[in-house]
Amino acid sequence: MSSPTPTPTPTPTNTTATITPPQRCRHPLPRLVWIGTVVALLVPGCAGWKPFQPWERAAREREKYGPNADARIKDLLARSKAAKAGSAEKQLEFTQELSGLMLAEHDPRVRVKILQTAAEYDTASATAICTGALQDPDDQVRSAACDVWAKRGGDDAVALLASRFQNDQDHDVRLRALRMLGELKDKDAIPVLARALEDADPAVQYRAVASLKQVSGRDLGNDVNAWRAWAADPSTAPEWSIAEQFRRLF
């Protein structure tokens, strides 16, 4: 009689799975393909590739969006030079064209250049551009328009600059208008500058005093009250003293 077959003892198993890291591919082909791709990108003419040229991007942008601001300014100056060398009729046509450019231009920097270019011509269109620029939505264009009217002068200059000082919402533009009223050296500006002395802003008062010195030819110092008294009745102001004359000289 045979003895019973013994039951084998189960071998304990490890519940933690052993993960074998993947073996790196030792085949040279993938590496060669990668190197070939890099070489194709770096070497001009390889695989039909051409090195990138910055001018190509600029050309695409011009084709899509038109000339950039610098290009438009350069073209404007060149056309202005040609117009000045031409007849009065050519200049008239050019300034009429500038009116359309001013309305269509979206870049304030270019609008400033159009304004400054128009200011060099004595035509109705040029005057309209200079006047309209005082109402431009951008403060740098309005400031440039103040400068333009100080150079152009004329019967309307004081009224236009006074209106810009009184109505503009930008502090720097208001100060610019006051300064240009002084540059005009027109006594018609005295009432406007006298009202500016009553402004609550010390910077406005200071600029009004500086402009009154230019317009009046006097130097009563920086005392706002002294200038208020003078502006109320310039005929009662004391004659210049020797000290005042020396201050003006030195």
> Tens digit of pLDDT for each residue in 127-172?
999 999 999 999 999 999 999 999 999 889 999 999 999 999 999 9
Q: Token digits for 62? A: 């011009």
pLDDT exceeds cutoff 80 at 24:
no
How many whole angstroms separate alpha carbon 145 and alpha carbon 166? 15
Q: What is the DSSP letter of 217?
A: S
Mean pLDDT of the chain: 80
CATH of 158-250, one of 3.40.50.2300, 1.25.10.10, 1.10.8.350, 3.30.470.10: 1.25.10.10
User: Which band of pLDDT confidence, cut at 50, 70 and 90, is reported for residue 231?
Assistant: confident
Rounded to whole angstroms, how far apart are CA atoms 245 and 241? 6
Query: If you ran DSSP here, which 8-state letter would residue 170 be given?
Result: -
Q: What pTM did the predictor assign?
A: 0.69
Instruction: For 178-227, write each residue's pLDDT tens digit.
Output: 999 999 999 999 999 999 999 999 999 999 999 999 999 888 898 899 99
CA distance 140 to 109: 8
For helices 69-84 and 88-104, what crossing angle results, to 10°? 160
For residue 1, give the amino acid letter.
M
Question: Which residues lie below 8 Å from residue 115, measured CB to CB, with a gap of 6+?
Answer: 102, 129, 130, 133, 141, 144, 145, 148
- Would you state the torsion angle of the CA atoms of residues 210, 155, 119, 179, taken in this order, to the nearest 10 degrees? 10
The mean pLDDT of 74-84, rounded to a whole number, is 95
Rounded Cα distance between 18 and 12, Å, is 15
Q: How far is CA 228 from each of CA 164, 186, 234, rounded to the nearest angstrom?
A: 22, 18, 10
pLDDT of residue 233: 77
What pLDDT, on a 0 to 100 scale, did the predictor assign at position 8? 56
Q: Could you give the 3-state DSSP secondary structure of residue 167?
A: helix
Q: What would the pLDDT profile of 236-250 be if each residue is shown by its tens digit?
A: 555 444 344 334 433
Euclidean distance between the first and the last CA atom of the chain, given in angstroms as a whole number: 142
pLDDT at 240: 43
